[in-house]
Structure 1
Amino acid sequence: MSALWRINLWVCGFFAVVTCACMVLLLHQAMADVERELQSAEAVVQYLSETAERDPVSLQPRLTASLRHVRVRWLAPGEAARVPSEDGMDAWLGRQLFASQRQHPRVLDLQDGRRVSIAVDPRDEIDEVWDSLQQLLSLCALALALSLLTIRWAVRRGMGLLDELLRALQQVCSGQLNVRLRSEGLPEARQLALHFNRMTSTLEQARTDNTRLTQTLLAVQEQERTHLAQTLHDDLGQYLAGIRAQACLLRLVSDQPETLARTVGLLEDHCEHLQQGFRTLVHDLYPVALQHLPMAEAFAMLVGQWQASHGINCQLRVSAHLPALCAGDKAHLYRVLQEALTNIARHADASCVRVRLHYGGTRLRLLVRDNGCGAQPPQRPGVGLHSMFERARCLGGELKIISQPGAGWALALNMPLEAS
C-alpha cells in the first residue's frame, strides 16, 4: 500500500471519529431541546382539550391546522384514534428522541357530537434534527473531500521530489557520482538538494582521491621493487661476485702468505659489508626488532638510528610500564612513528624533536612535536599522511595533526585499550 493510500485511510478514520463525536453531541443537545419543546406542546394539548370540552365551537380546523408540535385530527363517527406507523430514518430518529407514551393521542367526544384527536406531533422536531444531521454530514463530507484533495496535491508534489531523489540515488549506485539535484522549490527541497549535492561531491572527491592514492601506491610499490632489485644487483651482487673471485684466487696464492692474508682480509670486509647490506634491507622491509625487543627498546632503537642518520636531536620519553600489544598493533604504532620522523626529516627543517609514548588508565598516547617551520595542513593528504590515518583507524584510535606556519608540527595519536 502506497503512502498516499495510508494517509487517506488515516484522514478518513479521523474524520469518521470526529463526525461520530459531533453527531453524538448534536443528538444529546437535541434531546435536551426536544424535552423542553414537548413539555410546551403537552401544555398546549392540555389547554386545547380543556377548551374543547367547555366550548367545542372554539376548536376550529382553520385555527388548529397551523399549530406547531401539536396535531389536531377530526375523526369520523366510529373511527378509532391510532398512532400512524412510520418507517424509515424519521421514524427511527423519532423513537430515539421522543418517549413513546407522548405519541398517544387524546380523543375527545365533544358536546356537539364531533370527535377529535389531539396529540403531540414530534415531526417538526424530527425534521429539524434530521436537517441538522444532514448539514453536519454534508459539511464533514465537504471538509473530507477538500482535505483529501489537498493531501493528494501535497503528497504528489512531495512524491515528485522523492522520485527525483530516487532516480539520482540509482545513478549514484550505478557509479555516476556527478549527478546533482536542482536547488529550487520549497525550502525543504532546497535543503535536501544541498545536502545531496554535498554528499555526491564528497563521494566524487573521495573516489578521485582513492584513484590518485592507488596510483601513487602502485608507483611506490614499483619504486620499492626497483630499489630492492638495484640493491640486490648492484650492491650485494657485486660483493658476492667479489667474494667468488677472491675465493678462486685463494687457490692460486696458497703458497704466497702475504697475498693470501690480504685476500682473506678482503673477504672478511666483503662479508661484513654484505651482512650490513642485508640487515639494512631487512630493516627497511620489516622492523625485526619488534619481534625480539620490547616496544620501548624498539622505539629507542628507531629514534637513535634516525637521529644518527639525519643529525637532528630527538628526545624520547616512554612510560615505565607499557601495556602488552599484539604484533599487528606494535607494527602499526612503530610505522606511525617512523612515518612521522620521515616527514619531519623531509619537510620540517627542525633542529629538535620530542617523542613521548605515554600510558595512563586505558589509553596509550603517542606525541611527536618538532620546532620546525610548520605549514598549513594539506587539503588532501598524501600517501604518508593517509597511511598514518589508516593505521590509526586500524588501532581504533584518533590521530590529530596540528601544524601552523612558524609554530612547528605536532602529531597526537590517542589509542584506547581494553581494560584488563
Structure 2
Amino acid sequence: MKEKVLQRSVELSWQEPEHPNGVITEYEIKYYEKDQRERSYSTVKTRSTSASINNLKPGTVYVFQIRAFTAAGYGSYSPRLDVATLEEATATAVSSEQNPVIIIAVVAVAGTIILVFMVFGFIIGRRHCGYSKADQEGDEELYFHCTKTYIDPETYEDPNRAVHQFAKELDASCIKIERVIGAGEFGEVCSGRLKLPGKRDVAVAIKTLKVGFTEKQRRDFLCEASIMGQFDHPNVVHLEGVVTRGKPVMIVIEYMENGALDAFLRKHDGQFTIIQLVGMLRGIAAGMRYLADMGYVHRDLAARNILVNSNLVCKVSDFGLSRVIEDDPEAVYTTTGGKIPVRWTAPEAIQYRKFTSASDVWSYGIVMWEVMSYGERPYWDMSNQDETLTVLSFG
C-alpha cells in the first residue's frame, strides 16, 4: 500500500489481489484514531484501488485496514496499518514535497465467511450505527457514528416530512421509463434510466403509484421510501430517490438485473457451486446484520424479498409496512390482526405477533433452506395449518 501523508488527510493506493474470489466491485477502508481502539470508526468505500481520507486531525495516529467485496461478500480486513498525520507546525514545511512514504500491506481478498458466525453476529451484535455520505471524485464515503438508529416514519405527525427527510426528491425529467417489468401493491414496476445533472445515467427500477390513489395509499406507498432512505449497505437495496411533486408519484431504486432470488434460483436449478450459494447467503446475512444494528426488524424475510444483481450480489428489499403477501392462499396464514407468511415466521411471531431481530433470524434459517434447495417451497407440501402446528410444537 502506498500512502501520502498530509496534515489533515492521507492518500492511499494499493494493488488489486492476484487471485480474488470473483470480480471485485468495491473496496472498504476502515480507519479510526489509534487511542480510540475501534470504539468509533469510519469507513470509506471506493470502486478504485485508491482513496483519499480527509477531515483527519493533525498530529494524530490513525489505524487503517482494507477489505475487498465480491459476489461472495466481504473478505477479512488487511493487517492494521498505523499512520500519523503531520503536526501543524511541520505541515507547511513538507506539504510541497511529493515523495510519499511507501508501506507494503496485504489487501484481504473477499471470501466466504462461515454462516454460523454471521448469524450469531446478526442476533447479538446490536451496535447501533448511523451514517452520512459525501461524494469524492465519484467514490462514496460512508462515515459511521455509533449513535443513530432507524426511525419509524409512522412516528411523524406529517408523513411527508419523513419522506423529504430521508429520501431525495428527483426531477421527473431525469427519469426515463422504458418498460413494465411487474406489478406492485400500489401500481406498476418499471425499468428505466436515471440521468442526474453532471453524472452518467444509471439503470433503475421505478415503482409507480396507480392513478386515482387515496391519500392513505400515497402515504403507505411513500412510507417504504422513508424506510429505505435510512439505509446504506452493499446488501440492502439502494434508494435513488422519489418523485412526489408530479404524476405519477414514483419511488426510484437501483436496478437488480436478476430479479427476485427465489425465481432466479428456480430458473438456474443446479447451476451454482456450493461456494456461490453460500456467498449469496453470506450477503443476505450481512444485510440483515446491518438492519439489526440499525434497530430495524424486517418481519418478512424470504427469498422472494431478496433481489439479485448481475454479479450475483444479493440485497434485502421489500420494506413496505403494508405488504401483500402472495395471492396464493396457501402462502399465508390468517390470524387475528391479519395475514402473516407462516412458512417463514418464528413461533412467537405466529402465536403472539412478537417480531424482533430474533424472529428475523428464524426467517433467515428458512431462506438458507430456500437457497440450498434452489427455491423449493419451504415445508414442501404440508398445509399451512399442519406447518403452523409443527412450528409451534418445535418452537
Q: Same fold (TM over 0.5)?
A: no
- Which structure has more strand as a fraction of its residues? 2
TM-score, scaled to structure 1: 0.21
- Which structure has more helix as a fraction of its residues? 1
Higher relative contact order (CA 8 A, sep 6+): 2
TM-score, scaled to structure 2: 0.21
